């Protein structure tokens, strides 16, 4: 569904991704794990068109999207749950969800999708008129996921959805990710929480300073001594 072929991405003189390649098969959960600053967010920003690779291609459903505008990429079926939740703080829950559907014109179906988000996240329904900035961290994370789902993505990019959340909430978020996938959405999940990410993923890639150093099935990587030592706490 998505193939990244040997991309080089720079921030000025900083070479953030070095001939980086990765593949996501339709229907699966793929995780990209790595330490702080390894290049995980950079990878997602390149897929969603916010950053441009200097070399290499990003191919989505057979089409090179490495020069495509971000809003066009959303309309092709890719949407992102950004790092740190980044919901619109001064907008209500409902307004945030509407923003997720801003490229759609099917009003009735948008309303139905918002109802679906509320079925999935009852706490958001209770707080639908509340300003997003006043929600708890976990609720903001749920809103960020709900907002991304409002675009009806076929491929959902998730940037560290577990960050800063209490263990019970982390479990809940990972259950939600599994469920979104079970209902047909392909997922690329970037995580520092390698344990949780590997436990729900099909395929996994490990990134270190801009390079993929390991890849395989999530089960294989969970058993790998290197991964255990570096990412699973021994």
CB under 6 A: which stretch of 32-40, 58-66, 143-151, 178-186 binds ligand ATP? 32-40
Exactly one of 34, 82, 153, 161 binds ligand ATP (CB under 6 A); that residue is 34
Residue whose entry in the numeric block shows the structure tokens 């000025």 = 12
CB of 53 to ligand ATP, least distance (A): 13
Contact residue for ligand ATP among 4, 16, 93, 170 (CB under 6 A): 16
Closest distance between ligand ATP and the C-beta of residue 40, in Å? 3
Interface stretch with ligand ATP, choices 33-41, 95-103, 137-145, 173-181 (CB under 6 A): 33-41
Residues in binding contact with ligand ATP, number by CB under 6 A: 12
What is the residue-wise DSSP string for 169-190? HHHHHHHHHHHHHHTT-EEEEE
Q: What are the angstrom distances between the C-alpha of 110 and each of 21, 118, 147, 211, 214? A: 35, 12, 11, 40, 40
Q: Which is nearer to ligand ATP, 15 or 61 (CB)?
A: 15
Could you tell me the two tokens for 154?
Answer: 């076929």
Q: If binding is defined by CB under 6 A, does position 11 make contact with ligand ATP?
A: yes
Residue in the block written with tokens 């997720």? 100
If binding is defined by CB under 6 A, does position 187 make contact with ligand ATP?
Answer: no
| Min dist. Cβ of residue 100 to ligand ATP (A) | 23
Binding mask 36-65 for ligand ATP (x = CB under 6 A): xxxxxxx-----------------------
Q: Kindly state the helix (H) or strand (E) to which residue 112 belongs, with its residue range.
A: helix 107-120
Least gap, CB of 14 to ligand ATP (angstroms): 5
Q: How far apart are the first and last CA of the chain?
A: 34
Instruction: Please name which of 30, 7, 55, 46 lies closest in space to residue 211, comparing C-alpha atoms.
Output: 7
Residue 14 binds ligand ATP, judged by CB under 6 A: yes
Residue 38 parent element (H or E): none
SS3 category, 91: coil
Enumerate residues 6+ apart whose C-beta is below 8 A from 171: 196
Q: Which is nearer to ligand ATP, 82 or 100 (CB)?
A: 82
The token pair that represents 119 in the structure block: 């079925």
Per-residue tokens: 144: 């960020």
State the Rg of the chain over Cα.
17
Residues from 190 through 209 that contact ligand ATP (CB under 6 A):
192
Give the interface segment with ligand ATP, choosing from 31-39, 60-68, 70-78, 173-181 (CB under 6 A): 31-39
For ligand ATP, the binding residues (CB under 6 A) are 11, 14, 16, 34, 36-42, 192
């Amino acid at each position: 569904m998505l193939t990244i072929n040997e991309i080089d991405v720079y921030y000025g003189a900083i070479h953030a991704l070095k001939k980086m390649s990765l593949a996501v098969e339709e229907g699966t959960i793929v995780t990209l794990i790595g330490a702080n600053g390894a290049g995980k967010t950079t990878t997602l920003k390149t897929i969603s068109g916010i950053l441009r690779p200097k070399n290499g291609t990003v191919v989505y459903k057979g089409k090179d999207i490495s020069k495509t505008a971000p809003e066009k990429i959303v309309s092709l079926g890719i949407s992102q749950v950004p790092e740190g939740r980044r919901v619109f703080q001064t907008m209500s829950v409902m307004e945030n969800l509407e923003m997720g559907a801003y490229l759609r014109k099917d009003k009735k179906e948008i309303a139905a999708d918002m109802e679906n988000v509320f079925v999935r996240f009852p706490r958001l329904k209770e707080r639908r008129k509340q300003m997003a900035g006043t929600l708890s961290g976990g609720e903001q994370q749920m809103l960020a996921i709900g907002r991304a789902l409002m675009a009806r993505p076929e491929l959902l990019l998730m940037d560290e959805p577990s960050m800063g959340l209490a263990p019970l909430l982390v479990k809940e978020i990972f259950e939600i990710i599994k469920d979104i996938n079970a209902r047909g959405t392909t997922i690329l999940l970037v995580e520092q929480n390698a344990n949780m990410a590997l436990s729900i993923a099909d395929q996994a890639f490990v990134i270190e300073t801009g390079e993929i150093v390991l890849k395989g099935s999530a089960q294989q990587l969970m058993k790998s001594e290197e991964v255990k030592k570096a990412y699973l706490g021994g």
